[in-house]
Every structure is written in C-alpha cells, then in structure tokens.
Amino acid sequence: MRMSQLFSHTLRDAPSNTQAISHQLLERAGFIRQLGAGIFTAMPLGHRALAKIEQIVREEMNAIGGQEIKMPVVNPADVWQETGRWYAIGSEMSRFQDRTGSEMVLAMTHEEVVTDLARREIRSYRQLPRLVYHIQTKWRDDPRPRAGLIRVREFTMKDSYSFDVDEAGLDQQYRAHYQAYFNIFHRCGLDVIAVGSDTGMMGGSLAHEFMVLAPIGEDTLILCDSCGYADNRQVATFQKPPAPAEAPRPIEKVATPDVTTIDDLTAFLEIPPAKTAKAVFMMAEVAGQKVQSQEVESQEDEEQESEERFIFAVVRGDMEVNETKLANAVQARALRPATDEEIRAIGAEPGYGSPIGVHDALIVADEAIVESPNLVAGANEAGFHLRNVNTGRDFTPDIVTDITAAGEGNACPQCGHALRADRGVEVGNIFKLGTRYSAAMGATFKDSERVARPIVMGSYGIGIGRALACVAESHNDEYGLIWPITIAPYQVHITALTGRDEEVAQVADQLYADLSAVGVEVLYDDRDESPGVKFNDADLLGMPLRITVGSRGLKKGVVELKRRDRKERTPVPLDEIIETVQAEIAALAAEIEAQVVDVPFRES
C-alpha cells in the first residue's frame, strides 16, 4: 500500500477526549475514528490488524475442533424470553419492534441463538461432542463507554460454544479453550493471566477471565506471587484472621454519642476493628415466583412479579462487604443501598444498626462473624452500641457464607502468602454453562438408552477490538506504536527520502515491487513530505521493520534497515535486502512463537 493512496492520515495530536494511551495512539495513527460514544470505525490499517487477530483466533479454534458459523446480530425476543434473560437484563440490552410489531433484540451474546440451533440439529449422543464458533458484531448499550476500544457499545467478538453429553466432556472442552486462549493471546503479543471469575449473567458453574495487567483496567485482580493464586476480586477469597477463643459474656449496652462509623467506634471504645460487627444495609431485586418457574408471558407480568427485599449484611469490622458475593448469596439481580427510611422500617437505626431484633429482613452473616465471639454491634438506637454480641445467642442469620472482599495484604487462601492487588483488562472469558440454557430451551439428545437428556454446554468469548487496544496499550514508546509481527498491518515500512532525486524514487518503487512479489506486506511512504515527517509517521504507525531509501546510502549501494523495537540502524547492501528482510521477519515471528507454550490449568 502506497501511503499517498491510504484512506487515513496521521494526527499531530490526539483528540481531546482521549485518555488511554491506546486510544490516543490508535486515533493519532489513523487506525480508528470515533463516530459516537463507544462506536468506532476501523480504518484500513486498523481493519488489517483486526483481521490478523481474527485469523489467529480461527486457526486456534479450528485446531481444537471448532467449526465456524455466523449467527445473526438481530434476534427475536422469544428465545431470550425462554431463558428468562429478556427479563433479567436491564437497559444494556437494546430492544425494538420490527414492522410487524414483533419484539426483537440486538444481541449482546449468542447463548440463546446457539441453543436454538442445537435443539434443531442435535438428536443423538452420536452427534456429540461438537464445537462451533463465530466472529460477529455485538451491541451492549453500556452507560459508560471509555478508553477507546477498551470499553465500547458496538464491538466484535469471537464466541464459541461447546456441546457435550456430560460434565467430563465439558471439562475437556473447557481445558482445551483454556490453552487455546493462551495460544491466541501469546501469538498476538499479549501477556495474559487467567483468573477465576463470577459467572454473572451467563450463569453456570465455573468461569475464568483472561486478563492483561494494565493501569487502565477496570477489574481489580487478587494475586499471589508465591503460589500463583489468581482471582477477580468479585470472587477472590482469603484466609481470615481467626478471632481469639472467648466464652460468651453478657450483653451490655453502652453509650456512644455521635459514633456512627467503625473508625469512630474503635477509637471511642479503644478496641480493634476485628472486635466489631459492621452492618451493611442493601435492597435486593429478586425474582418473583413466576420468573423462577419461567411462566412469564410478558415483560409487564415479570415486573409485577419482581420484588425488592431488605438485605441486612453483617461482616467483621476489619473487613469489607463484597457486593458480588452478597448478590450471589441472595440470588439478587441487582443491589442498591437502602435508604434511612427503609432501614428504620425494619427496626434498625442508621449508624447504629445490628441484626438484633430486626424484622422483615434477610440477615446474611459472613463466616467470620459466626466464629468471632463478644463483638460490639449497634443497639438499633441512636447513640448506643452493644458489647458482647454473639451469633446464635443474640441473633440467628438466615444465611452464613463468605461475603467479604479480598484485598492487598490479605493472606492467600492457598498458601498464606500476602496477596497483592493489580488492575486488569479482560480480553477473554470462558464459562461452564452446564444445562443452564439447554434445559430452559429443551435442547436435548437421546443417550445410549434412548433417554432424553439436556445437552451440556460451554461458552467462550474473546473481544477482538479490545485485544487490539490492549496490544496498543502495552506495545508502544514515546514515539508511537510498536506492533508485533503477527498482527502488524504491514510487516515493512519503506521510507523513501526522495526530495528531487529520481534514483531514490526508482529504487524505492522497485524495492516495493520486489518485496511484494515475494509475499512481504509493505507500506510504502511515497508522499512528497520531509524526512522528519516521514520518520515521525513511521514511528507512530509502528510497523515492525523500516527500510529507509536515501541518496546518501544509495551512493554506497546500501539501504538502511531498522527494527521498530530497537534503536540500531543497519546498512544493508541493496542486492541483499530482500533476503535480509525475510530473515528478520522470520526472526520476529520466532520470538513470538517462543512465547506460545503449554500453561498448566488452574481452577483459580
């Protein structure tokens, strides 16, 4: 491609609304252009890089038995209603009516559609296992798009879906994807880690997210450098410091005027936070009976059957509530903080709350609360607390489970080493769906005994544009992008310092033709620009190799070759440049290939 004909141009400065490095560089280099909030056009250079990522994905999916299909982005609502997600997902899912008045959906993901396909195509255990995948546009009306391609509303994903007769088959396909994902990301030049994660709206029994560590990431990861433990903070656990064994003591009411926080309480009573019980008041949106039995026939019916329930969460004062764990514990679709009026309506008092004597509330206590005797808790009366509160004697939780958030410095649940927290960008995820969708939609197969059983499913996704952004985020310097050879739009960037020298133009033209003839992908800067502009643009665009053709070098019979990731410039005889470039491309590819190694599977 001649840059004089390229349908994009570089920018001296990034647009004012760009904050992430990847967004700035991709805009400046002309790889993307923004149409609206979270909506981008992939320009020719960006499209070529995305296509290369997609090809790597295809090769690795095909290698584990995947068959490529293409499912529609516009779905009839009825398949989403069958699984209940039509009602469970909020405004992020865009709904509309077609010309006949039928309810339709812009797909955020394709579990319902692929399950519908499975119930039409699969009849017998002899047709299993199967694995299909597609690379398709999706739409999620995210209220907070940010950081360029990191968080968008319209995006391209690879989704694959596995179908098996049992959990053992699902486990095999899940582990195959686990390794294939490392292969994909390593081939793209991305260093990723796999962390345990919440199954979220997808459902199922197990999930992993593939994360690129980066300050721009919105996810907090809890990691152990000693044993390799790695989980998203949403599900991470830790070894909770045990409370000293004590005999229960009589409850005692004490005056604590204007003491409404754990910090104030510990200072006032001169006790450690671990000797207190922290009350967290939430309202949970939960499904009514009709939604749970899937008898809802309209959204209006569902809204009538949905209900809010008061959740009284109790954790030790030296810990924090993890809202994801709490929502899962009470099977809530969503949580919100309770108002002061709602808190008082159950018999509690804001700032002085405890579960003692409350009513019409679901009490959820963390495990550490049950194991910690003689805690200080609120008296449900302004200006007073209670000493020596004990679970079982003074209140009985409805649910006892882990609802605390792991953080920096907590003890690793596996080895006890201090955990650390880091930020990450999710570029892929894998889920063990089990029969979550097949049972709801009647996707069954006949086993060897002719008994109908639901198909056991898995779901596996990769964000193509987000992967590109993460490469840009991690492969750059002060001058611009530095593309790995595997996904660079072009392998070689020819910079012709022509001026008025016709010989330079002729040699550069011939070199462009010769390299292209042997299959090398070349971006040729044939523009009538100054050397400074051309060199700056070459660095900004970030192709792996740059060849500079200038009159000074040609007088010596050489051109200059430079790797984008190195400072050295090497003069190469003109009659050796083709072979040298091919060798450099092979060396760059070998460096990437060396990163593609087997990775042991970890549950977390």
Instruction: Tell me the average pLDDT across 451-456.
Output: 98
- Tell me: pLDDT of 304 over 50: no
Could you tell me where in the chain the CATH 3.30.930.10 domains are found? 15-71+111-236+421-473
Q: E-assigned strands of 262-316?
A: 277-286, 307-316
CA pair distance 48, 51, nearest whole angstrom: 5
Instruction: Return the CATH number of the domain spanning residue range 15-71+111-236+421-473.
Output: 3.30.930.10
CA pair distance 103, 111, nearest whole angstrom: 18
Q: What is the pLDDT of residue 300?
A: 40
User: Above pLDDT 70, what percent of the chain?
Assistant: 97
CA pair distance 207, 236, nearest whole angstrom: 13
Mention the CATH class of domain 252-401. alpha beta
Q: What is the pLDDT of residue 292?
A: 41
CB 359 within 8 A of CB 347: yes
CA pair distance 300, 86, nearest whole angstrom: 12
Q: What is the pLDDT of residue 181?
A: 98
Helix (H) or strand (E) holding 378: strand 375-378
Per-residue pLDDT tens over the stretch 551-596: 999 999 999 999 999 999 999 999 999 999 999 999 999 999 999 9
Q: What is the pLDDT of residue 469?
A: 97
CA pair distance 455, 129, nearest whole angstrom: 10
Task: Specify whether domain 482-593 bears CATH 3.40.50.800.
Answer: yes
User: Above pLDDT 90, what percent of the chain?
Assistant: 91
- Tell me: pLDDT of 294 over 60: no
Q: Look at phi and psi of residue 441 and say left if phi exceeds 0, alpha if psi is from -120 to 50, else beta.
A: alpha
Q: What is the pLDDT of residue 302?
A: 43
Could you tell me where in the chain the CATH 3.90.960.10 domains are found? 252-401
- Tell me: pLDDT of 498 over 90: no
Closest CA to 159 of 68, 49, 85: 68
Per-residue pLDDT tens over the stretch 47-73: 999 999 999 999 999 999 999 999 999
Cis amide prior to 76 (ω within 30 degrees): no
Per-residue pLDDT tens over the stretch 397-424: 999 999 999 999 999 999 999 999 999 9
Helix (H) or strand (E) holding 503: helix 502-517
Give first-to-last CA distance, the chain, whole Å: 46
Per-residue pLDDT tens over the stretch 117-142: 999 999 999 999 999 999 999 999 99
Least trusted range by pLDDT, from 225-234, 271-280, 295-304:
295-304
CA pair distance 6, 305, nearest whole angstrom: 57
CA angle 75, 76, 81 (to 5 degrees): 110
| The amino acid at 395 | F
CB 207 within 8 A of CB 174: no
CA pair distance 329, 331, nearest whole angstrom: 6
Q: How far apart, in Å, are the Cα atoms of 491 and each of 142, 477, 524?
A: 35, 18, 11
Q: What is the pLDDT of residue 297?
A: 40
Per-residue pLDDT tens over the stretch 59-108: 999 999 999 999 999 999 999 999 999 988 889 999 999 999 999 999 99
- Sequence length of the chain is 604
- Tell me: pLDDT of 289 over 60: no
Instruction: Tell me the average pLDDT across 281-309.
Output: 61
Could you tell me where in the chain the CATH 3.40.50.800 domains are found? 482-593
What does pTM read for this prediction?
0.91
Helix (H) or strand (E) holding 531: helix 531-541
CA pair distance 335, 318, nearest whole angstrom: 22
Burial of 347 (0-12, 13-18, 19+ CB in 10 A): middle
Task: Say which residue the tokens 């709602």 belong to.
Answer: 342
CB 533 within 8 A of CB 10: no
CA angle 377, 272, 315 (to 5 degrees): 45
